A = this chain, B = another copy of it.
Amino acid sequence: MKKRRKLGRGVAVVGAGMSTFGMFKNKDSKGLFAEAFVEMLASVDKSLDPNDIDALYLGNFTNDFFVRQSHWGPIISDLIGLTPKPATRTEGACASSALAFREGVFAIASGFYDVVLVGGLEQMSERTTEEVAEGLALATVPYEGRVGFTFPGVFALLATAYFARYGAKREHLMNVTIKSHNNAPLNPKAQFPYTVRDMMNAKSKRAREKGGAVPTWEDEKDFLRDPKANPVVAWPMHLFDCCPISDGASCMLLVGEEIATNFTDDPIYVSGMGQGSGRGFHASPDLTFFEATRYAAREAYEMSGLEPKDVQFAEVHDCFSIAEVVTIEDLGFFQPGHGYKAIEEGQTRLDGSKPINTSGGLKCKGHPVGATGVSQLYEVWTQLRGRAGKRQLPHTNLRIGGAHNLGGTGGTCTFTILERR
The residues of A with any CB-CB pair to B shorter than 8 Å are: 1, 3, 5-9, 52, 55-56, 61, 64-65, 68-71, 73-75, 77-78, 82-93, 99, 102-103, 105-107, 109-115, 138-142, 145, 259, 273, 275-280, 283, 291-292, 294-296, 303, 407-408, 411-412
**A115 contacts across to B, CB distance below 8 A:** 1
**A9-B86 Cα distance, complex, nearest whole Å:** 21
**A82-B56 Cα distance, complex, nearest whole Å:** 28
Whether B142 contacts A78 by the Cβ 8 Å rule is no
Closest to A259 in B: B1
**A115-B73 Cα distance, complex, nearest whole Å:** 27
The CB with the most chain B CB atoms within 10 A, among A56, A61, A84, A93, is that of A84
**A294 contacts across to B, CB distance below 8 A:** 84
Whether A5 contacts B112 by the Cβ 8 Å rule is yes
**A92 contacts across to B, CB distance below 8 A:** 71, 73, 88-89
Whether B70 contacts A93 by the Cβ 8 Å rule is yes
**A106 contacts across to B, CB distance below 8 A:** 103, 106-107, 109-110, 112
The CB with the most chain B CB atoms within 10 A, among A64, A88, A292, is that of A88
User: 23 A-B Cβ contacts within 8 A?
Assistant: A1-B52, A5-B112, A7-B110, A8-B111, A71-B92, A71-B140, A73-B91, A74-B141, A78-B141, A78-B277, A78-B280, A83-B277, A83-B292, A85-B277, A86-B275, A86-B295, A88-B92, A88-B412, A103-B103, A103-B106, A105-B110, A106-B106, A106-B112
**A8-B256 Cα distance, complex, nearest whole Å:** 13
CB A11 to nearest CB in B, in angstroms, measures 9
What are the 10 closest A-B residue pairs judged by CB atoms, nearest first?
A74-B411, A109-B110, A86-B275, A8-B111, A84-B295, A74-B277, A70-B138, A106-B106, A77-B277, A84-B276
**A84-B110 Cα distance, complex, nearest whole Å:** 24
Whether B145 contacts A83 by the Cβ 8 Å rule is no
Closest to A64 in B: B64
Partner of A112, one of B6, B140, B141, B279: B6
Whether B277 contacts A87 by the Cβ 8 Å rule is yes
CB A114 to nearest CB in B, in angstroms, measures 6
Whether B1 contacts A88 by the Cβ 8 Å rule is no
**A110 contacts across to B, CB distance below 8 A:** 7-9, 105-106, 109-110
**A75 contacts across to B, CB distance below 8 A:** 141-142, 411
Whether A91 contacts B78 by the Cβ 8 Å rule is no
Whether B279 contacts A71 by the Cβ 8 Å rule is no
Provided the pairs A8-B9, A65-B65 are in contact, do residues A71 and B407 lie with their beta carbons within 8 angstroms?
Answer: yes
**A114-B106 Cα distance, complex, nearest whole Å:** 13
Closest to A290 in B: B84
Whether B71 contacts A111 by the Cβ 8 Å rule is no
**A102 contacts across to B, CB distance below 8 A:** 88
Whether B73 contacts A277 by the Cβ 8 Å rule is yes
Whether B84 contacts A291 by the Cβ 8 Å rule is yes
Can you add 13 more A-B contacts, CB < 8 Å, to A7-B111, A86-B295? A8-B109, A68-B138, A71-B91, A71-B138, A73-B92, A74-B292, A74-B408, A75-B141, A78-B277, A78-B280, A84-B295, A86-B412, A105-B110
Partner of A91, one of B1, B3, B70: B70
Whether B8 contacts A88 by the Cβ 8 Å rule is no
**A82 contacts across to B, CB distance below 8 A:** 277
Closest to A77 in B: B277
CB A78 to nearest CB in B, in angstroms, measures 5
**A303 contacts across to B, CB distance below 8 A:** 112
CB A83 to nearest CB in B, in angstroms, measures 5
CB A265 to nearest CB in B, in angstroms, measures 19
Partner of A65, one of B64, B112, B283, B295: B64
Partner of A88, one of B7, B52, B103: B103
